């Protein structure tokens, strides 16, 4: 059955937050937990139990923030819209939240899952030139399906169980990534600051070609249902090429774009992206493992073709490291939010060049961990559609 649609203001109290003046020292380092949107961006579970910053009672009284009870659903309302968490402790927030204090007939976990489900619709209601933001009024007037309390608890329990499986897969992937990063840093140090003093070469000296892809005349109008794979920025992720939403071009169009025809083990790197967006497409890199001339790339993707003898996987690992991510953010150009990497930036990327035997040793460890990671990733890809199906059913006609 379908549940009645209820405005959030009729089942929750919607409150904002604020920031005490930073230049008043006694407003800070008190005993009141205070969080920003960044603090809920990478949680491995729904609840937040810690805050990196604390404000004093004087700081709390000086600002229009609000002490939120345990169980409050925290919704980021800008930069970005739609990160969701549940307060596991009493805390307050800055102005980047529209937090939802559930009424007596609302279950926190149900509300958490419900808001996460409807984040795309909330994002569409955002306004603002520099940063999109949803106002308090928009959130208050947003409608959600609201079954009886016991049914809310049942739905939340089912979704919690399915989401728990997903979280375990994600944790396995994170553990593998963390182990590889620790191994790399132990062997080679930070690839940007280079504390171990390795020889450094610009990427152009390790490459035979660094070039932007090509956009065919007519743009998307020339795409076909089947043909030559045509990668765009949405297909290139961190060390991963995703084929969902991939485009295709015919042989004739492909032949007219020979300069951007891909070879086996070309590195693909995205050119543009949002500076302030999580998982931004700016500077993502992945290795193409298809056959020579079996695919092409559009103008928002660079192809990097390395010289013979250069370990492609080692270079990709450097380019996708957290340290290099920060370097890319430092050198990119553009506006406040939308940024771009120019060809010259990529050509001048400093690449550490440790002895080949050390690179090979790291690649051996990388390959072993990647097998474990791949198994976890396969499991994650299986459980996500299941969770999405349950999620869709829960908030439409119920289980």
From 136-140, 161-165, 191-195, 206-210, the region with the lowest mean pLDDT: 161-165
Indicate if 113 and 219 belong to the same structural domain: no
The pLDDT, as a whole number, for residue 278 is: 62
Indicate if 31 and 95 belong to the same structural domain: yes
From 18-22, 102-106, 166-170, 178-182, the region with the lowest mean pLDDT: 166-170
Residue 344 lies in a domain: yes
The pLDDT, as a whole number, for residue 166 is: 82
| Neighbour tally for 210: CB within 10 Å | 20
Strand order in the sheet with 295-297: 247-249, 228-231, 295-297
The pTM of this model reads 0.68
The pLDDT, as a whole number, for residue 330 is: 87
Last residue of a domain, one of 128, 147, 166: 147
Residue 31's alpha-carbon distances to 27, 175, 211, in angstroms, are 11, 32, 54
Residue 139 lies in a domain: yes
320 touches 248 (CB < 8 A):
no
The pLDDT, as a whole number, for residue 122 is: 93
Concatenate the DSSP letters of all residues of 39-56 into one string: GGSS-SSSEE---SEEE-
Q: 393 or 276: which carries more pLDDT confidence? A: 393
The pLDDT of residue 163 is above 60: yes
Quick: pLDDT tens for 368-381.
888 888 888 888 77
Indicate if 133 and 163 belong to the same structural domain: no
Residue 45 lies in a domain: yes
Indicate if 11 and 31 belong to the same structural domain: yes
Indicate if 222 and 348 belong to the same structural domain: yes
Indicate if 85 and 117 belong to the same structural domain: yes
Indicate if 262 and 127 belong to the same structural domain: no
Indicate if 277 and 386 belong to the same structural domain: no
Indicate if 98 and 166 belong to the same structural domain: no
Number of domains in the chain: 3
Domain ranges, residue 388: 149-174+356-393
Which residues, including other chains, have CB under 8 Å from residue 303's CB and lie 6 or more apart? 209, 210, 211, 212, 213, 260, 262, 266, 267, 268, 297
Which residues, including other chains, have CB under 8 Å from residue 67's CB and lie 6 or more apart? 32, 60, 90, 91, 92
The pLDDT, as a whole number, for residue 131 is: 76
Burial class (CB in 10 A: 0-12, 13-18, 19+), 193: exposed
Residue 180 lies in a domain: no
Indicate if 331 and 348 belong to the same structural domain: yes
Indicate if 381 and 321 belong to the same structural domain: no
């Amino acid at each position: 059955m379908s549940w009645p649609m209820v405005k959030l203001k009729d089942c929750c109290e919607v409150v904002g937050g604020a920031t005490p003046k930073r230049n008043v020292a006694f407003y800070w380092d008190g005993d009141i937990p205070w969080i920003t949107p960044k603090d809920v961006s990478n949680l491995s579970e729904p609840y937040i139990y810690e805050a990196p910053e604390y404000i004093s009672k004087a700081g709390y009284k000086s600002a229009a923030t609000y002490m939120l009870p345990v169980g409050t659903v925290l919704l980021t309302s800008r930069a970005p819209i739609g990160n969701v968490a549940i307060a596991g402790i009493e805390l307050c927030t800055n102005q980047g939240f529209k937090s939802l204090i559930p009424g007596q007939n609302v279950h926190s976990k149900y509300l958490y899952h419900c808001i996460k489900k409807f984040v795309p619709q909330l994002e569409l209601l955002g306004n603002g030139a520099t940063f999109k933001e949803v106002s308090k009024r928009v959130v208050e007037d947003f409608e959600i399906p609201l079954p009886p309390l016991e049914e809310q608890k049942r739905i939340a329990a089912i979704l919690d169980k399915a989401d728990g499986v997903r979280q375990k897969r994600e944790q396995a992937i994170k553990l593998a990534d963390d182990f590889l990063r620790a191994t790399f840093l132990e062997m080679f140090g930070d690839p940007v600051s280079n504390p171990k003093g390795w020889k450094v070469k610009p990427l152009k000296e390790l490459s035979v070609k660094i070039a932007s892809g090509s956009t065919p005349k007519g743009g998307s109008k020339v795409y076909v249902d089947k043909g030559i794979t045509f990668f765009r920025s949405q297909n290139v992720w961190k060390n991963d090429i995703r084929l969902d939403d991939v485009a295709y071009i015919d042989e004739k169009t492909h032949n007219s774009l020979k300069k951007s025809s891909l070879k086996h083990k070309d590195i693909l790197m995205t050119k543009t992206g949002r500076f302030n967006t999580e998982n931004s497409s700016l500077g993502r890199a992945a290795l193409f493992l298809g056959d020579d001339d079996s695919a092409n790339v559009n103008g928002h993707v660079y192809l990097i073709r390395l010289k013979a003898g250069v370990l492609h996987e080692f270079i990709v690992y450097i380019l996708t490291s957290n340290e290099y991510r920060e370097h890319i953010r430092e050198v990119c150009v553009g506006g406040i939010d939308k940024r771009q990497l120019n060809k010259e930036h990529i050509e001048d990327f400093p690449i550490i060049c440790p002895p080949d035997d050390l690179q090979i040793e790291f690649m051996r460890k990388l390959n072993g961990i990647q097998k474990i990671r791949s198994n976890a990733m396969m499991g994650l890809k299986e459980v996500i559609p299941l969770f999405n199906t349950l999620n869709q059913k829960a908030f439409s006609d119920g289980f």
